[in-house]
Amino acid sequence: MWLILTALAAVAATIVWYVKSPGDKYKLGILSLMLWGATIMWVVDHIMAFASEGGEFFELGTDATMLGVAVIVLALVVWTLTLVITDPKGVLKKIFNK
């Protein structure tokens, strides 16, 4: 389930990034690439596990869903930290210079 949720978040982030293009003021490219990186890695992991061990391709259940939510939250936290540190709109600079 975390693979599906991460993939959905990656698609959503990419769509928003594309709509806001060509400028990437809010660094949505970082969020999008980060989520795609994890999605690709999990796709490879799931395919290889399914090929060698069989069983269910997607783990469905509360625990797997909660993991998916936690993954998205962590990605959003990293993206927020990037925004705060780089301060592309200069908001923090204005606050501290007051």
Partner 1 sequence: MACFLVPAGEAVVTTVVQKVIEHQGKKGGEAKAAEMKLKWSKRLGWLNIMLWGGSLLLALEHIWHGEIIASPPFLTAMKDATETSIMLHEIATVGVAMAVTITVIWGIMVLVAELKSRTAKVKVQPVRGGA
Residues at the interface with partner 1 (CB under 8 A)? 2, 6, 29-30, 33-38, 40-45, 48-49, 67, 70-71, 74-75, 78
For partner 1, give the closer residue by CB, 34 or 83.
34
The answer for residues whose C-beta is within 8 angstroms of residue 98's C-beta and 6 or more apart is none
| CA proximity to 1, closest of 52, 79, 72, 54 | 72
Minimum distance from CB of 12 to partner 1 (Å)? Answer: 15
Q: What span, in angstroms and rounded, lies between the C-alpha atoms of 71 and 81?
A: 15
The least CB distance from residue 31 to partner 1, in Å, is 9
